[in-house]
Amino acid sequence: MHTRLRPTLAVWKFASCDGCQLSLLDCEDELLALAGAVDIAYFAEASSTLRPGPYDLSLVEGSITTAHDAERIRAVRAASRHLVTIGACATAGGIQALRNFADVTDYVAAVYATPAYISTLATSTPIAAHVKVDFALHGCPIDKAQLLEVISALLAGRKPEIPHESVCTACKRRGTSCVMVAHGTPCLGPVTEAGCGAICPAYGRGCYGCFGPSEAANTAALAATWTVLGADRRSIHRAFRSFNAAAEPFREESDAHGDQDHPG
Amino acid sequence: MATKTIRVDYLTRVEGEGALELDISGDAVSGVRLAIFEPPRFFEALLRGRAGTEAPDITARICGICPVAYQMSAVHAIEAAWDIRLDAPLRALRRLLYCGEWIESHALHVVMLHAPDFLGFPDAISMAAVHGEAVRQGLALKKAGNALLRLLGGREVHPVNVRVGGFYRVPTRDELAPLASTMEEARATAIALARWVAAFPFPDFGRDYEFVALRHPTEYPMNEGRLVSSRGLDIAVAEYEDAFAEHHVAHSTALQSGLRARGSYLVGPLARFNLNHDRLSPSVQALADELGLAPGCTNPYRSIVVRALELVQACEEAEGLIAAYAPPPAPAMAVTPRAGTPQASTGAACTEAPRGILYHRYDLDAEGSILQARIVPPTSQNQSTIEDDLRLIATRDLALPEHELRDHCEQAIRNYDPCISCSTHFLRLTVRRQ
């Protein structure tokens, strides 16, 4: 980076809900300072000024679901020094990856009266399936403190300090008693990446895995525990097949509890 | 004849991806297409086979800007199917949560996305150099709304606390109490903001819209009520699909909704205000009066003033709900999908998302799994009205330089705070002149 020239930031959207890029605007206390520290060159949700690259840092939200987007992500990569995926869609394919387990023509017909008008790929795939990703932020949505850490770290030329641990560790740190042990509530916390702050158990519900699988997640052991707690095959199948359905350990575990009659 | 094309690569400061195409023959606009090409995500298809209890969390992911609206419409539709009626304290907490989203979403749109149009800036960050106080006020309001979402929902985007029957956890009085002063301050900020936007220069524009909104016997509409319109529609939410139909047009991945009897209609703040002015609090009615806004307003540009008034209303209501709060005996009513509904069931609900009515309907099997889902977001409902506005504006402004024509079209689209992720943010303007 050149002295005095502020690093440039770009924000890109693919198939997504806009919630992860909204996390940037949700940094109400930091937004104006951030806009002073970096040059926000391309952020269509926030500004009509859209400047051409190259960009020092691109934040990419959303998954690849159309042929056009598969081309577009290559152009984004080519224009970006660092590329960071933000959220479950960009990092793992998102909830729209449920189509990967179904017949997409059936999906199109279920929603649209004139399927011929719709152009879509059969799968929803993460950004890393198409281009090199320098860092991936998990979560549906991402945590805004993690986002600020990644932006600061990459622009300062250091490694982002994002811990890799399970939600269980975060629960213990927060002082939340285990919902599985104390209340028999099925929870995906033991196999889910931390980062959200272990919100769900603190609110008395089981983690639903929106940050995706943690490293070395033992999903089979957890599924066995769920069975002991009374969860049936179908609910185990559904639990692993949601916002990170296409992330490998979750995909495998949901397949292991698949039900031919109830493919959903 | 010569053909001229203008291309704007992105419609900015909206949520989602879309393009605008204008066909111009001589001095007439012969075609207007608001093309939404947000990649389809097939929510209605992927919901089939999921548990009804999962609908609030799954449908929240349709839109990160208004996830609570999706949670509210979904949860009330499922509760309607299973005949679950919330008692008063839980109902009040749902309203308080929705106030948080209205505040967060309206503050974002009024200050960060729409105000720059009226004052000639590309974005709120550059606007802050001249109107720093207003931008800081907008961010403070947004933060106040998010504080409510954080406490009641666990987090701002895709809150985790809504469940069929109520909530997973309800706050203690002590947890909620500090937010009373936050809301009091937010109300004062919102009043200042309303006075600021009311002084903007408003284009002279208006037409005879059919306004559609919910109407409740006593409250400004959010979670319940009948569906009414300025031309006499007055139906129960369960009759929605008898009165409205969706069409699939070639240029859009969003379905367009119309009244079966009369075609396009307008939903959102302006419709709510015109149909429910008497349900605003006396102080908000007085403020509307002071700002020169009366029911019957047909200028969509003034929707920014209505959003600011609704910000005041939401802050005031939140203050009252917090003051009156006593924790419910249990965080949720008993939910047993099978009890009382041994066979398949259907439930519909409509709630007022910040951008207008959001309709959900679910058909469920005896075990509580979703057989079919139907979701009609506010932007689909406004889409043909936006096209009608653009036809008039483009006709009026045909002689202007094309960058001005484009800016005017974009501003007119932002009147509707279109959340294009639900349907699309990428508006490419193509003008074909012949």
Residue A261 placed within a domain: no
Report the SS3 class of residue A204: coil
Domain stops at, among A156, A179, A209 = A156
Both structure tokens of B234: 């007055």
Nearest CA to CA, how far is B223 from chain A (Å)? Answer: 22
- Does A251 touch chain B if contact means CB atoms closer than 8 Å? no
- pLDDT band with cut points at 50, 70 and 90 for residue A17: very high
The answer to whether the CB of B344 falls within 8 A of the CB of B59 is no
Residue A131 placed within a domain: yes
Nearest CA to CA, how far is A53 from chain B (Å)? Answer: 15
| Residue whose tokens read 């992105």 | B10
The answer to whether the CB of A43 falls within 8 A of the CB of B425 is no
Residue A162 placed within a domain: no
- pLDDT band with cut points at 50, 70 and 90 for residue B254: low
Q: Which of B17, B36, B47, B61 to mutate to test the interface with A (most CBs of A within 10 A)?
A: B61
Residues A129 and A250 in one domain: no
Structural domain containing residue A14: 8-156
Residues B215 and B231: their CA atoms lie apart, in Å, by 14
Residues A174 and A124 in one domain: no
Residue A31 placed within a domain: yes
Residues B391 and B387: their CA atoms lie apart, in Å, by 6
Task: Determine the residue of chain B that is closest to A196 in CA distance.
Answer: B155
Residues from chain A that touch B371, judged by Cβ atoms under 8 A, are none
Report the CATH number that the domain containing residue A66 is assigned in CATH. 3.40.50.700
Query: How crowded is residue A163: how many other Cβ atoms within 10 Å of its Cβ?
Result: 10
Query: How crowded is residue B125: how many other Cβ atoms within 10 Å of its Cβ?
Result: 21
Residue A24 placed within a domain: yes
Among B317, B323, B322, smallest CA distance to B281 is for B317
B171 pLDDT more than 60:
yes
Domain stops at, among A92, A126, A156 = A156
- pLDDT band with cut points at 50, 70 and 90 for residue B12: low
Residue A46 placed within a domain: yes
Among B395, B396, B355, B392, smallest CA distance to B377 is for B355
Residues A42 and A69 in one domain: yes
Q: What is the DSSP pairing of strand B18-25 with strand B429-433? A: parallel
Residues A26 and A112 in one domain: yes
The answer to whether the CB of B193 falls within 8 A of the CB of B311 is yes
Q: Which of B13, B37, B46 to mutate to test the interface with A (most CBs of A within 10 A)?
A: B46
B405 pLDDT more than 90:
no
Residues A86 and A140: their CA atoms lie apart, in Å, by 9
Residues A19 and A143 in one domain: yes
Write down the ipTM of this complex: 0.95
Residues A81 and A200 in one domain: no
Contact assignment for A19 to B247 by CB distance below 8 Å:
no
- Does A26 touch chain B if contact means CB atoms closer than 8 Å? yes
B249 pLDDT more than 90:
no
Residues A14 and A138 in one domain: yes
Residues A144 and A188 in one domain: no
Residues from chain B that touch A113, judged by Cβ atoms under 8 A, are 247-248, 255
The answer to whether the CB of A200 falls within 8 A of the CB of B160 is yes
Residues A98 and B56: their CA atoms lie apart, in Å, by 17
Residues A197 and A135 in one domain: no
The residues, ordered by sequence, that sit 6+ positions from A58 with a Cβ below 8 Å of its Cβ are A9, A10, A11, A12, A76, A77, A79, A80, A82, A83, A84
Domain stops at, among A96, A125, A156 = A156
pLDDT of residue B422: 47
If you average pLDDT over residues B53-76, what whole number do you get? 96
Domains of chain B with CATH codes: 7-40+386-433 (no CATH), 43-209+214-381 (1.10.645.10)
Domain tally for chain A?
A: 2
Task: Determine the residue of chain B that is closest to A110 in CA distance.
Answer: B45
Residues A95 and A143 in one domain: yes
Task: Determine the residue of chain B that is closest to A36 in CA distance.
Answer: B125
The answer to whether the CB of A83 falls within 8 A of the CB of A137 is no
In chain A, alpha helices (H): 19-25, 31-37, 67-78, 88-92, 104-111, 144-156, 167-174, 179-183, 199-202, 219-228, 233-240, 248-256
Residue A239 placed within a domain: yes
- Does A118 touch chain B if contact means CB atoms closer than 8 Å? yes
Residues B23 and B432: their CA atoms lie apart, in Å, by 5
pLDDT of residue B404: 86
| Residue whose tokens read 């707690």 | A229
- pLDDT band with cut points at 50, 70 and 90 for residue A4: low
pLDDT of residue B253: 62
B289 membership: H or E segment, kind and range: helix B282-290
Task: Determine the residue of chain B that is closest to A185 in CA distance.
Answer: B168
Residues A110 and A38 in one domain: yes
Contact assignment for A110 to B45 by CB distance below 8 Å:
yes
Residues from chain A that touch B168, judged by Cβ atoms under 8 A, are 200, 203-205
- pLDDT band with cut points at 50, 70 and 90 for residue B420: low
Tell the burial category of A14 from Cβ atoms under 10 Å away from its Cβ (0-12, 13-18, 19+): buried
Residue A47 placed within a domain: yes
Query: How crowded is residue A34: how many other Cβ atoms within 10 Å of its Cβ?
Result: 17
Q: Which of residues 125-184 of A touch B (CB under 8 A)?
A: 140-141
B311 pLDDT more than 50:
yes
Q: How many CB pairs below 8 Å do chains A and B form together?
A: 202
- Does A33 touch chain B if contact means CB atoms closer than 8 Å? no
Query: How crowded is residue A3: how many other Cβ atoms within 10 Å of its Cβ?
Result: 4
Residues A143 and B274: their CA atoms lie apart, in Å, by 39
> How many C-alpha atoms does A183 have within 13 Å on its Cβ side?
14
φ/ψ of residue B116, rounded to 5: -55, -30
Say if residue A141 is preceded by a cis peptide, omega within 30 of 0: yes
Residues A132 and A238 in one domain: no
Give A58-96 pLDDT, tens digit per residue: 999 999 999 999 999 999 999 999 999 999 999 999 999
Whether the predicted model's global pTM rises above the 0.90 cut: yes
Q: Out of A16, A124, A238, whose CB is closest to B54?
A: A238
